[in-house]
Chain A
Amino acid sequence: MFGKHTKVLLVGSAIGLLNVVVTNVYLAGRPVGASTSYPFVAGVALNLEATEYFAQIRNAGSWEFLFLLGAFVGALAGAVAFGHFKLRLVPPLWAELKGRSATRRLVWSLVGGFLLILGARLADGCTSGHILSGGMELAVSSLVFAGFVGVALLAAARRFYAGATP
């Protein structure tokens, strides 16, 4: 119907409309977000619940933790239904760019996950909380965040996977 843009328009619109529905005061009454789950889990697991930061993120963190639990269950169901489920330690494109060593991939995953959540906590949001939800609300903080993420993502990927790309 929309030519080669059909999938982009359908999937993009579905995500966009879901982002709006969730904010309805009769439903969640807040936009989606994911990254607050990580300090929330850390706070509960390591008994940091008396800290100033945990008090600030307790409500958002528990909501986002449930959201990510749902995402896990949904993705598991989807992976089985669409036939995508496959146990692996090294993603195919990583193997192509950085080699097949599982140790190397797992160490870098730890480093990447650390930088990812450190950045998200400094900025108070991530792809879902800032870029999708903040973008929806024309938030200045989120548009600035998206700009810095874009620049860093392209530059870091270019350097980190150098040699494998022309």
Chain B
Amino acid sequence: MIAFGFGIAFALIAQYARLNTFDAIVATALRRRHDVVQIMLVAVAVSSVAFFGEYLLGGAVVAVKPFYLIGVSVGGLLFGIGVAILGYCPGTMTMALAEGSLDAVFGIAGGVLAGAIYTVAYPAVRPFIGPDFGELNLYASNRAVSAIIVLAYAATLLTIALKILPARAAPRNAAGALKPAPPTSPRG
């Protein structure tokens, strides 16, 4: 019931911001827009600080995924190629289907097929996804040092999202041609 409820909440935000469409994701991959990346960077920055606070208060446990060198890197490459072609990620695919994008049915079918093959092949694949460096994260053994690391991490992500990305990304029109830079306005 909790999982279902959070699913609804996430989907309503994604729908409101239009983050779940093929057009939004592939335009991002083609560097025609950068707001999707900005939103993800802000989400990670805000959550890293809030989660660290929750963790210090005993409200959450750190549940980090193990770092299998080959699995994580090869998996990341395949995943990136998959997102580029499909234009959805595993979560937004169901949301795209819900708003009528029937191509997502085929994406889901491909995903379930991959899930079946991986399940069957797992005993043979497992020896090749390591070495396993364990469940590492960047927290230090000392809480004060960890707090400084978390704040620096969040500040770095926010700087990339709000300063570096807007300055680097060249605005393009719908056909992908470069647009003249819009007039800069002071902002607070």
B80 and A75 within 8 A (CB)? no
B145 at the interface (CB under 8 A from A): no
- CB-contact partner of A119 in B78, B98, B178, B187, under 8 A: B78
Interface residues of A in 22-59 (CB under 8 A from B): 22-32, 34-35, 37-43, 45-46, 48, 51-54
Q: A4, B42: Cβ atoms under 8 Å?
A: no
20 new A-B contacts, CB < 8 A, other than A12-B41, A109-B86, are A4-B187, A12-B39, A18-B13, A23-B61, A28-B6, A71-B95, A75-B98, A76-B98, A78-B12, A78-B16, A79-B99, A93-B22, A122-B125, A124-B71, A124-B75, A127-B91, A136-B51, A141-B68, A148-B77, A152-B79
Nearest-neighbour CB distance to chain A for B120, whole angstroms, equals: 7
| Chain A residues with CB under 8 A of B112 | 38, 41-42, 45, 117
Contact call A148/B73, Cβ cutoff below 8 A: yes
Q: Does B64 contact A (CB under 8 A)?
A: yes
- Please state if A152 and B103 are interface contacts (CB–CB under 8 Å): no
Contact flag A79-B100 (CB < 8 Å), given A18-B13, A166-B178: yes
Question: What are the nearest 6 A-B pairs in CB distance?
Answer: A70-B7, A12-B42, A152-B80, A123-B75, A148-B76, A113-B110
Query: How many of chain A's residues touch chain B, expressed as a range?
Result: 35 or more
Contact between chains at B23 and A137 (CB < 8 Å): no
* Chain B residue at minimal CB-CB distance from A35: B90
Q: B residues within 8 Å of A by Cβ?
A: 1-23, 26-27, 29-31, 35, 38-48, 50-51, 54, 58-68, 71-104, 106-120, 122-123, 125, 129, 133, 135-139, 149-150, 153, 161-162, 174, 176-178, 185, 187-188
A92 at the interface (CB under 8 A from B): yes
Cβ of A112 within 8 Å of any chain B Cβ, yes or no, is yes
Closest to A37 in B: B90
The CA of A65 and the CA of B22, in the complex, are separated in Å by 22
A71 CA / B108 CA spacing, docked (Å): 14
Bound complex: CA of A48 vs CA of B116, how far in Å? 8
Whole-angstrom distance between the Cβ of A87 and the nearest chain B Cβ: 4
C-alpha spacing A146/B187, complex, angstroms: 31
A35 and B10 CA atoms in complex are apart in Å by 15
CA distance A142 to B137 in the complex (A): 9
Bound: A14/B59 CA distance, A: 19
- What are 9 A-to-B residue pairs whose CB atoms are below 8 Å? A35-B111, A89-B102, A118-B117, A122-B72, A122-B125, A128-B91, A129-B65, A132-B40, A139-B135
In contact, A109 and B116 (Cβ under 8 angstroms) = no
Decide if A82 touches B102 in the complex (CB within 8 Å).
Answer: no
Name the A residues within 8 Å of B82 (CB-CB). 112-119
Which residues of B are found within 8 Å of A150, using beta-carbon distances? 80
